Structures are given as structure tokens and as C-alpha cells.
């Protein structure tokens, strides 16, 4: 049985914490579900289903004072946990307000990024506990910036593009990265880890200009985890590091949001921060443009194929999806069936 397009009982990146201002509500669509985000007066983020349970109007269209959300239609009031507090039109005996709720999703902030847990069964949230992704930086540090782009494609095609090594030669030809003339045979070692797989730590090749500005011993380790998270940890010398993370959030069946966050202990990075942001944006925009072209081809529903080592990671992704869905359906522990392997390709 083919796994569904969307995986649930997992945490998804929602937005950078800087977008949640005091007294402001932000609506997001994630896995086709409309969700409203905000911060309570203590600064803790929350996420509610973006519908008033009375007549269904989006709660995000109402007002919010940091404590109470008031529906713009009939003035019903809800706290940040989704519990109804007041029905202004009720002149006589009030109903049991505790039974009137806007659904509250588990929502957490980590390193300045806000995450939401999308359950399969909204009454069962046990899987949310302690399963936030490891963002590879100390708890007291923050990712200060996020680049977000919409890709014209579903989560499967977006993920395949994220972990596909073969497109780099043709899509990411840039003066600051690589050119097609720099294509060489590569050999990388992979192993299963958590809900995904990891490219073993290795020294980047000199053809990558993006790495050439770094001095000292350099090594990188790249990890992929479902539902669509790519983590790259670059060790620079003995004490410094760079963390580059790409997070895919399915908006709906036709659009996937690509989010990139970045962190470094290198002090001089702050002097080249905005040039690096611009270069990173140019790099991602190359993917955005090719996905627009891909969407035109996929509109005809062609038969597709995954071939050889360059597409091995894509096959692993679908295997991970299948095993995750099986574990949820049978209420058993997820088993990562990926085997250690050495892959070879030219890029």
C-alpha cells in the first residue's frame, strides 16, 4: 500500500518566532489545515484551529489582546488554549462553556523557531511529547533569520528535490558555488539514524566555492529526517561550527513551503551576514524556478522513475514514509529499515 501524501503525528516548522508579535494573530495553512498562531502574554506561542466553533468564521479575523481572542462575527471569546470564555449574546442561563473549544494543536518554540504538531487523531497527542527535532545548536541560541519560499509541488516532489544530488550540476550553476565544468565522481557513505538517514561526516571537495572561504579543518555531516528536514552541520576547526537547516512544510497538495535557517559561531559572519543572505536567496530561487517548470510537466501526470544511486535517497524517503504510516496504523514503534550504504554519482 502506498503511503499517503501527508504524514501526521509529526512536528512541522510553522514560522519564525519574530512573526508572532504581541497582540497579533497569524494564519497558516499546514497539511491543508487552517491554523491560527499567536503568543500569550507570557510570550508562549499557541496554535488553534482557525475556525470559531460557533459558525466557522476564521478566528484570525477577530481581535486579540494577548489573552483573549474575540470572534469578529458574534463576539465569542476564547483563551489561548482554545477554551470558550464568554458568549456575549447569551442573556439567560449560559451553556457549559468548558465544552466549547477551538481545537488546540501542540505548539512549541525552539531556538527562535515555532513548531506545530499535526496529529492523526486529534484526541491522542501522546506522540508529541519530547519529539521536537534537534536543531543542533544550544538551547539558549536562536536562528535569527529564516528564508521562506513557496515551491510549486507537493511534499514528495519537494523532498526528492531537497535530497537529490544530481540536479546540482544543472540547476545550481553559480559563480559562488559550482559550475558544470566542476562535475566529478562522488562517493558518500550513508547510515540510518532516527526517522531518516545520514551522510557520514566528510571533508567537502574544493570545487565548492561556498566552503572555500572557510579556514582551518572543515568537515560536514548531512542528515535527513521525515517529514522533510535536512540538517547540515559544518565543523570549522576545533571550536567553531555552522548549522544550515532546510525545512519543508506542506501547505496543501499543490504547494510546499521551503524554509532555510542558519547559525554560526564564527564571529566574522556578522560582517558578511546580509551578503550571505542574498547569496542563499539566489541559490534557493534557482530551485523555485525549476519547480515552476516541473509543475508544467507534472500537470500531464507522466509516469516517473527513480534510477540508480543518484535516486537512492528518494527511494529511502518513500520507504521511511511507508514504515512511519505502518507504525501509526498498527500503533507500534517506528522501525527504520534503511541499511548502511555507499552511493556513487557524478555531480
Residue 321 has pLDDT above 90, yes or no: yes
Strand runs labelled E in 101-210 = 104-105, 107-110, 113-118, 146-151, 185-193, 196-202
Residue where the block lists cell 488546540 = 104
Residue pair 258/158 in contact (Cβ under 8 Å)? The answer is: yes
pLDDT band at 331 (very low <50, low <70, confident <90, very high): very high
What average pLDDT does range 319-343 have in this prediction?
97
Question: Percentage of the chain with pLDDT > 70?
Answer: 94
What average pLDDT does range 318-324 have in this prediction?
97
CA distance 342 to 231: 19
Q: Which residues contact 32 (CB under 8 A, 6 or more apart)?
A: 6, 250, 251, 252, 253
The domains of the chain are located at 10-128, 146-346
Residue 3 confidence (pLDDT): 83
Residue pair 118/31 in contact (Cβ under 8 Å)? The answer is: yes
257 Cα distance to chain centroid: 8
Domain 146-346 bears CATH identifier 3.30.465.10:
no
pLDDT band at 174 (very low <50, low <70, confident <90, very high): low
Largest CA distance in the chain: 79
Question: In residues, how long is the chain?
Answer: 347
Domain 10-128 bears CATH identifier 2.40.30.10:
no
pLDDT band at 144 (very low <50, low <70, confident <90, very high): confident
pLDDT digits (tens, 9 = 90+) for 46-59: 999 999 999 999 99
Residue pair 219/211 in contact (Cβ under 8 Å)? The answer is: no
What average pLDDT does range 172-178 have in this prediction?
63
Q: How far is CA 135 from CA 5, 280, 327, in A?
A: 25, 19, 25
DSSP 203: P
Residue 210 has pLDDT above 60, yes or no: no
List the single range of 22-36, 131-145, 177-191 with lowest mean pLDDT: 177-191
Residue 245 confidence (pLDDT): 96
pLDDT digits (tens, 9 = 90+) for 252-284: 999 999 999 999 999 888 878 778 888 888 888
Q: Positive or negative CA dihedral for 218, 244, 137, 197? A: negative
Query: Same CATH fold, 146-346 and 10-128?
Result: no
List the single range of 32-46, 57-71, 249-263, 277-291 with lowest mean pLDDT: 277-291
pLDDT band at 175 (very low <50, low <70, confident <90, very high): low
Residue 32 has pLDDT above 90, yes or no: yes
More confident residue, 26 or 215: 26
Nearest to residue 220, comparing CAs of 236, 201, 207, 197? 201
Amino acid at each position: 500500500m502506498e503511503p499517503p501524501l501527508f504524514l501526521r503525528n509529526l512536528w512541522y516548522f510553522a514560522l519564525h518566532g519574530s512573526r508572532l508579535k504581541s497582540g497579533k494573530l497569524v494564519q497558516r495553512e499546514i497539511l491543508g489545515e487552517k491554523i491560527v498562531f499567536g503568543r500569550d502574554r507570557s510570550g508562549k506561542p499557541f496554535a488553534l484551529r482557525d475556525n470559531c466553533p460557533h459558525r466557522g468564521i476564521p478566528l484570525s479575523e477577530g481581535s486579540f489582546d494577548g489573552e483573549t481572542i474575540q470572534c469578529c462575527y458574534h463576539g465569542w471569546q476564547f483563551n489561548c488554549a482554545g477554551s470558550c470564555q464568554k458568549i456575549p449574546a447569551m442573556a439567560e442561563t449560559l451553556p457549559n462553556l468548558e465544552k466549547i473549544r477551538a481545537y488546540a494543536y501542540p505548539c512549541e518554540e525552539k531556538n527562535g523557531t515555532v513548531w506545530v504538531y499535526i496529529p492523526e487523531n486529534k484526541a491522542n497527542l501522546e506522540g508529541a511529547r519530547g519529539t521536537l527535532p534537534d536543531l543542533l545548536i544550544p538551547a539558549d541560541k536562536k536562528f535569527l533569520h529564516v528564508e521562506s519560499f513557496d515551491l510549486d509541488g507537493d511534499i514528495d516532489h519537494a523532498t526528492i528535490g531537497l535530497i537529490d544530488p544530481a540536479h546540482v550540476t544543472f540547476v545550481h550553476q553559480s559563480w559562488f558555488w559550482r559550475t558544470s565544468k566542476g562535475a566529478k565522481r562522488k562517493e558518500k557513505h550513508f547510515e540510518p539514524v532516527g526517522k531518516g538517514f545520514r551522510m557520514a561526516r566528510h571533508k567537502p571537495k574544493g570545487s565548492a566555492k561556498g566552503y572555500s572561504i572557510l579556514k582551518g579543518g572543515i568537515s560536514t555531516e548531512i542528515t535527513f529526517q521525515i517529514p522533510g528536514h535536512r540538517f547540515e552541520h559544518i565543523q570549522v576547526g576545533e571550536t567553531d561550527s555552522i548549522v544550515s537547516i532546510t525545512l519543508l512544510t506542506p501547505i496543501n497538495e499543490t504547494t510546499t513551503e521551503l524554509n532555510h535557517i542558519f547559525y554560526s559561531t564564527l564571529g566574522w559572519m556578522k560582517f558578511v551576514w546580509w551578503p550571505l543572505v542574498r547569496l542563499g536567496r539566489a541559490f534557493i530561487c534557482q530551485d523555485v524556478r525549476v519547480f515552476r517548470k516541473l509543475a508544467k510537466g507534472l500537470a500531464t501526470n507522466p509516469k516517473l522513475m527513480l534510477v540508480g544511486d543518484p535516486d537512492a535517497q528518494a527511494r529511502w524517503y518513500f520507504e521511511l514514509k511507508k514504515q512511519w504510516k505502518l507504525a501509526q496504523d498498527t500503533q507500534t514503534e517506528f522501525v527504520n529499515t534503511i541499511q548502511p550504504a555507499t552511493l556513487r554519482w557524478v555531480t
